[in-house]
Structure 1
């Protein structure tokens, strides 16, 4: 079910909260927006997610709140520049990204769920994962090999 969770970078300079559902299938609330992006956590093999080890969960912009540390964020954009990748300037942790995509309902955040501070090991283990083949721009299908993701 959807719960308010709190997250941070490693040093604590950047803190946020979000309304997110990490429950396994059969225990989940209806997603806040339609689409597979909001119905599961995601692991991707694109060059960026693979190098940062991003374990993401999309949340609508209205379900995300930056609580502190806007001045500690560094921004990185590549490719078309439509995704704002943010990092803590002090510790370098990549806690979330923001973007806007009409097909995804407009403004959203991808929270790195590994940065959530109030999730138990059991909740992480039970969280559903959908795999994306971003390396081949085939976002709707898993890559042939997922064991390293």
Structure 2
């Protein structure tokens, strides 16, 4: 049964700008998220939450740089070569990744509800 507004479960491939980091996710895009925390405001990413079992790093582990701040719980990953942020391991739900949907191939976010996350006020 498909929930109204969601898409069927599909696999998508994504990458950083230079292609060194490549990954695959499986999701039905129930919603997208924008966060107002200090790092998300600056990177202006639109994210989808994906359980770690639905995420696969295909290439580029050695090309990833990790950044942590504040509580040092979330893990934000960037390509060392091109600087693009493709994903992060989430703070509140560490068994999930936040995937930057602008890094996905052949994906159009139109029509998917966007939820504003309130990261700036997290303790």
Q: 2:3: which partner in 1?
A: none
Question: Cα RMSD over matched residues?
Answer: 1.7
**1:100 Cα deviation from its structure 2 partner:** 6.3
Q: 1:81 aligns with which of 62, 72, 75?
A: 72
Paired residues for 1:63-82 under 5 Å: 63-82=54-73
Q: TM-score, normalised by structure 1?
A: 0.72
**Whose radius of gyration is greater, 1 or 2?**
1
In 1, Cα distance between equivalents of 2:35 and 2:25:
21
Residue segments in structure 1 that go unaligned for 5+ positions in a row: 23-38, 139-149
Residue segments in structure 2 that go unaligned for 5+ positions in a row: 1-7
Q: 1:125: which partner in 2?
A: 110
Which runs of at least 4 in structure 1 moved beyond 3 Å after TM superposition? none
In 1, Cα distance between equivalents of 2:88 and 2:70:
15
User: Aligned residues, how many?
Assistant: 116
CA 1:15/1:107 → structure 2, altered by over 3 Å: closer, same or farther? same
Q: 1:62 aligns with which of 48, 53, 61?
A: 53
In 1, Cα distance between equivalents of 2:51 and 2:25:
9
Tell me whether 1:135 sits opposite 2:120 in the alignment. yes
Tell me whether 1:10 sits opposite 2:17 in the alignment. yes
Q: 2:42 aligns with which of 51, 54, 75?
A: 51
Equivalent pair of 1:7/1:118 in contact (CA under 8 Å): no
Q: TM-score, normalised by structure 2?
A: 0.87
Higher helix share: 1
